[in-house]
Amino acid sequence: MSAENHSPAAPLQSIEAVDTGLSNAGYIASRPISTAIYLAHHLQKPILVEGPAGVGKTELAKSVAAWLKLPLIRMQCYEGLDESKSLYEWKYGKQLLYTQILKEKIGSVIGDADNLATALDKLHAFGDIFFSRNFLEPRPLLRALEQPGGSVLLIDEIDKSDQEFEAFLLEILSDYQVTVPEIGTVAAHTPPIVLLTSNSTRDLGDALKRRCLHLHIGFPDEKLEARIIASRVPGIDERLLKQLVSFVQQLRALDLKKLPSVSETIDWAKVMVLLHTAVLDVAIVRDTLNVLLKFEADIEAAGKQLAGLTQKAQHEAGIA
């Protein structure tokens, strides 16, 4: 059974429509992001989304699902992830229950069989029942393929899985189908929109990359980051917003172990609003720097430059 494309095409008629749709879902997308989603739908290809943690890779999948009103099916990857956890497993409890029922009815099943061979032949007729669709428990990959109206499949942090799991994914990513030995090939009625995310903790295989469109989401520039924060922290004061963005952009220019992500900037903005902050000063920044920076060495390194960083942020916001 070949995959057919019945997914909602109307909202994806242009790159501009994608940009507007994502914005309505609360995701401020750059042009490359909107283009990747548009192409993924029309070419029926998955997207491999790479970039630092916290820049909005996972949030992109959530926003696409919310915008298109499709179910979001998420599979979190980890070392040792295998077929039984990602594709399907058998309902062993149900199989055991039916085995007990069969034991109780064994006489009526065998009937008038007059020898062992005949009895076994009759029992063999029941063998495949226990490995039929009724006993199959679908996991994320199979659930995504079986959604009649399509879905958004998020394969999160694929770089944390093993190379063997990468190889297992190739059939699904190429043909939107998978083979279950006991049942046969299961193909998608409506190919899902697939996003694989990676924090680049290891190099992914060429075979996987060939099957995907590539999208890199890096740290946003000052203008885009201001738009993102404004959309996620409604009502934030314009001058405070400019100070926050300027300060974070300066932090990312420092030699830190982990640069602050967009999600951490949003959290910091929420903290400043909660504390009724109007102007960034050294004291308030020092007290809340742990929201932005997650390593003590980074906090100490940035702490030595807080006066200059906050002064410049105020200046760019027209305060000092």
Q: The dihedral of CA 170, 176, 181, 184: what is its sign?
A: negative
128 and 166 share a domain?
no
Residue 190: CB atoms within 10 Å: 20
CB within 8 A of 111, min separation 6: which ones? Answer: 122
Residues 11 and 40 in one domain: yes
- In this predicted structure, which of 155-159, 180-184, 229-233, 271-275 has the lowest mean pLDDT? 180-184
The verdict on residue 253 lying in a domain is yes
* Low-confidence winner among 99-108, 193-202, 285-294 (lowest mean pLDDT): 99-108
**Residue 279: enclosing H or E segment and its boundaries?**
none
pTM over 0.85: no
Is 117 in the same domain as 261? no
Mean pLDDT over 227-236 rounds to 94
Q: pLDDT tens digit string along 260-290?
A: 999 999 999 999 999 999 999 999 999 999 9
Question: Based on the domain organization, do 166 and 236 belong to the same domain?
Answer: no
> What would the mean pLDDT of 188-199 be, rounded to a whole number?
93
For 110-123, how does the pLDDT look when each residue is reduced to its tens digit (9 = 90+)? 555 556 666 556 65
Report pLDDT for 76. 94
**Residue 46 belongs to what domain range?**
6-82+150-216
Which of helix, strand or coil describes residue 112?
coil
Residue range 250-266: mean pLDDT, rounded: 95
Q: Is residue 141 part of a domain?
A: no
170 in the same domain as 64: yes
pLDDT tens for 157-176 read 999 999 899 988 998 888 99
From 167, 190, 216, give the residue that closes a domain: 216
Q: Is residue 248 included in any domain, yes or no?
A: yes
DSSP 275: T
Domain final position from 216, 246, 266: 216
| CA dist list (Å): 187 to 74, 179, 207 | 19, 9, 21
Query: What was the pLDDT predicted at 180?
Result: 77
Q: Does the pLDDT of residue 10 top 90, yes or no?
A: no
CATH number for the domain that contains residue 189:
3.40.50.300
What is the percentage of the chain residues whose pLDDT exceeds 70?
82
- pLDDT tens track for 19-59: 999 999 999 999 999 999 999 999 999 999 999 999 999 99
- pLDDT at residue 285 in the model: 96
169 with 258, same domain: the answer is: no
Q: State whether 128 and 162 are in the same domain.
A: no
Q: What is the pLDDT of residue 2?
A: 40
- The percent helix, strand, coil of the chain (3-state, each to 5) is 55, 10, 35
pLDDT of residue 231: 93
pLDDT of residue 106: 60
Strand partners, 78: none
Same domain, 101 and 249: no
Residue-level pLDDT at 184:
75
* pLDDT single digits (tens) 89-98: 765 555 566 6
Q: Which two tokens stand for residue 109?
A: 């099943």
Regarding whether 295 and 175 lie in a shared domain, the answer is no
In a domain, 254, yes or no: yes
Are 14 and 69 part of one and the same domain?
A: yes
pLDDT value at residue 133: 62
- Position 144 in a domain: no
- Answer yes or no: is pLDDT of 5 > 50: no
| Same domain for 167 and 70 | yes
- The reply to whether 25 and 93 lie within a common domain is no
* Structural domain includes residue 145: no
Q: pLDDT tens for residues 131-149?
A: 556 667 778 998 999 899 9
- Residue 241: its pLDDT value, please? 97
Whether residue 142 lies inside any domain: the answer is no
Average model confidence (pLDDT) for the chain?
Answer: 86
Strand ranges of the sheet holding 213-216, from the earlier edge strand across to the other edge: 72-76, 152-156, 193-198, 47-50, 213-216
Q: How many CB atoms are closer than 10 A to CB 282?
A: 14
Residue 140 inside a domain? The answer is no
Number of separate domains in the chain? 3
Average pLDDT over residues 179-197: 86
Q: With cut-offs at 50, 70 and 90, classify the pLDDT of residue 77.
A: very high
